[in-house]
């Protein structure tokens, strides 16, 4: 039975495919030249499915995919993690979840009256973080482009992914605290660990040796 692998579309897909190629898993056709989302592989023992990162845990949790690769940020936010195991840190897609404020702000908490308005798509992570800080916040959920929220006076600060920091800088913001270090992780459906034990273990161990040797 083919192992179904859910992959995060977007900026880490290329790095994921390079990793998979190193363990002998390659799509039969050029992904860039196709609008398809499901790809057979040359090895035939695997099937690749491309989706939004936030859907990867859902597909794996319900067993529609046996394994999945997505960012730790997505796993931290996902509603439930009871249906899958996190098996491997793939050490790609490295970035941080950080707080960021308008450039030059001394202390954002001191500069606002009332609860701090925080714009983010990382609602769970942010709520936990500010609670640990003992700060009263009002979380404003956005799907993206958090960077403009402070200048539009929607929020006092944001919580977002930071890689190079260029996006923050270009929007008049500066990074402050790191909330979590992020990399891509391999997750495995709980049932597939039993029903496809050999396929899953072969796949995990092959990836582990590639990751450890790079």
Q: Which is nearer to ligand PRP, 32 or 166 (CB)?
A: 166
CB of 117 to ligand PRP, least distance (A): 18
Residue (169 or 208) nearer to ligand PRP, CB: 169
Output the smallest distance, CB 165 to ligand PRP, in A. 5
Task: Report the nearest approach of ligand PRP to the CB of residue 111 (Å).
Answer: 24
- Sheet containing 157-162, strands listed edge to edge, beginning at the edge strand earlier in sequence: 137-141, 116-120, 157-162, 95-102, 173-182
Q: How far is the CB of 56 from ligand PRP (least distance, A)?
A: 14
Identify which of residues 142 and 207 has a Cβ nearer to ligand PRP in the complex: 142
Q: Where on the chain is the footprint of ligand PRP (CB under 6 A)?
A: 11, 144, 160-167
Which strands make up the sheet holding 38-40, listed edge to edge? 38-40, 46-51, 3-8, 67-71, 184-189, 84-89
Structure tokens at 210: 């590639």
State which residue, 43 or 54, has the beta carbon closest to ligand PRP: 54
| Least CB distance to ligand PRP at residue 171 (A) | 9
* CB closer to ligand PRP out of 4 and 142: 142
């Amino acid at each position: 039975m083919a192992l179904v692998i859910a992959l995060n579309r977007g900026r880490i897909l290329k790095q994921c495919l390079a990793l998979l190629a190193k363990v002998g898993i390659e799509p039969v056709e050029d992904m860039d030249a196709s609008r398809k989302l499901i790809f057979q592989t040359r090895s035939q023992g695997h099937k690749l499915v491309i989706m939004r990162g936030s859907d990867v845990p859902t597909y794996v949790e319900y067993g529609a995919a046996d394994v999945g690769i997505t960012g730790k940020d997505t796993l931290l936010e996902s509603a439930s993690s009871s249906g899958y195991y996190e098996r491997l840190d793939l050490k790609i897609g490295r970035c941080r979840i950080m707080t960021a404020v308008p450039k030059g702000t001394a202390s954002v908490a001191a500069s606002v009256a009332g609860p701090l308005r925080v714009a983010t798509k990382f609602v769970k992570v942010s709520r936990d973080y500010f609670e640990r800080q003992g700060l009263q916040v009002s979380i404003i959920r956005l799907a993206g482009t958090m960077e403009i929220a402070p200048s539009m006076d929607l929020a006092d600060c944001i919580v977002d992914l930071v890689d190079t920091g260029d996006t923050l800088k270009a929007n008049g913001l500066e990074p402050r605290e790191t909330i979590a270090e992020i990399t891509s992780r391999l997750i495995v459906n709980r049932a597939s660990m039993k029903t496809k034990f050999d396929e899953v273990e072969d796949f995990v161990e092959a990836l582990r040796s590639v990751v450890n040797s790079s």
